[in-house]
Amino acid sequence: MRNKYLRLLIPSLTAILASVTAACVTVSAPSEKIISYSAELPVAETSSNTYSALIDDEDLDTYFESLSDKTVNVIIGNHEEFIPEDIMKEMLFLKDGLILFNEEKLDEYILYLRDKYETYGKARSFHTSTGEDITITKGNYGWKFDVDATKTALKEALLKDYDSNMDVVFSIMGRRDPFNEIAGTYFEVSIADQHVWMYKNGELIVESPCCTGDVKTGANTRCGIFAVTFKKRDTILKGPDWNDPVSYWVPFDGNIGFHDATWRSPEEFGGDVYLENGSHGCVNLPLEAAGIIYENVDMDTPIIVY
């Protein structure tokens, strides 16, 4: 018998899987075998095992053996995971005419995937333009697993007696490959140096002094790695006591973003201005630099602020 496995691929498009909400869901295979999946059957004697499926007695052993001959494709970009047959069979077992899930083994594998592919909020190493090696831990950029929904998808896939596809479910979708999120094209903002760099396809296309959030008033620009939300030309930024027209607006952290600040003199970009006369939290830029950034930014461009 050949080695069997579940094959897992990881998606770059949004994977939306409806949760099991009814007490019983019927799954029909091409062979017309019916498997009744229940989300509310009694708990087994061992707390880590839950009664999960019913099959006609004469089909039970045949079905369990058929797991050795099936694959489940779970799409997550271009990556593949292979679950060996022995591990897959640890996730399911037979008892008293029932197929049971080993919840502990399911959790163990789902958490393995999460630890390997989830990047949201994780520490990332970064080599700065000033030559430092730093670690970035905060922000809103990356992939975030929906553990419960992914586990439900895996259970449903395991119960089918034919090859099937399933999606790993993400509560927050990443913008780039999880193993290569900060590369090629990105922004870099140094608070201490009050300076911005933008790289495109590995080449520095613009660098400029800037003015970040005012330290004296507590409006500090937050550090971390962020995703560009959108970009907009010729708009007005409004606040409790300001109404500022800007030519280029690129938000990345809520209402915080890059924009030109033509009301500032050249001397007000860079240096120590941000300590007592900084922005309301945004990264203020000279008009020309803001324009270059605007024209070259995409929605998947990460912004590293440190």
Q: Is the pLDDT of residue 12 over 60?
A: no
Query: Looking at the domain that runs over 186-305, which CATH code has it been given?
Result: 2.40.440.10
Strand partners, 304: 188, 225
The CA distances from residue 216 to 211, 272, 273, 305, in Å, are 13, 12, 11, 19
Q: Domain extents for the chain? A: 5-120+141-172, 186-305
pTM: 0.73
Are 8 and 168 in contact, with CB atoms under 8 Å apart?
Answer: yes
Q: pLDDT of 168-189, one tens digit each?
A: 889 998 888 888 889 899 999 9
* Confidence class for position 63, pLDDT limits 50, 70, 90: low
* Confidence class for position 295, pLDDT limits 50, 70, 90: very high
* Confidence class for position 99, pLDDT limits 50, 70, 90: confident
Q: pLDDT of 222-274, one tens digit each?
A: 999 999 999 999 999 998 888 999 999 999 999 999 999 999 999 999 999 99
| pLDDT of amino acid 61 | 61
| pLDDT of amino acid 35 | 34
Amino acid at residue number 240: P
| pLDDT of amino acid 72 | 66
| pLDDT of amino acid 277 | 96
Strand partners, 59: none
Q: Average the pLDDT over 100-124 and give the result.
A: 91
Report which listed range, 42-51, 138-147, 151-160, 207-216, is most confident. Answer: 207-216
User: Is the CATH number of domain 5-120+141-172 3.30.420.310?
Assistant: no
Are 75 and 167 in contact, with CB atoms under 8 Å apart?
Answer: yes
Q: Average the pLDDT over 51-58 and give the result.
A: 48
Query: 140 — phi, psi (to 5°)?
Result: -125, 25
43 versus 242: the higher-pLDDT residue is 242
Q: Is the pLDDT of residue 162 over 80?
A: no
DSSP string of 96-158?
TTEEEEEHHHHHHHHHHHHHHH--TT--EEEE-TTS-EEEE--BS-S-EE-HHHHHHHHHHHH
> What distance lies between CA 127 and its chain's CA centroid?
22
72 versus 283: the higher-pLDDT residue is 283
| pLDDT of amino acid 192 | 97
Q: Is the pLDDT of residue 55 over 70?
A: no
SS3 261: coil
Q: Is the pLDDT of residue 51 over 90?
A: no
* Confidence class for position 2, pLDDT limits 50, 70, 90: very low
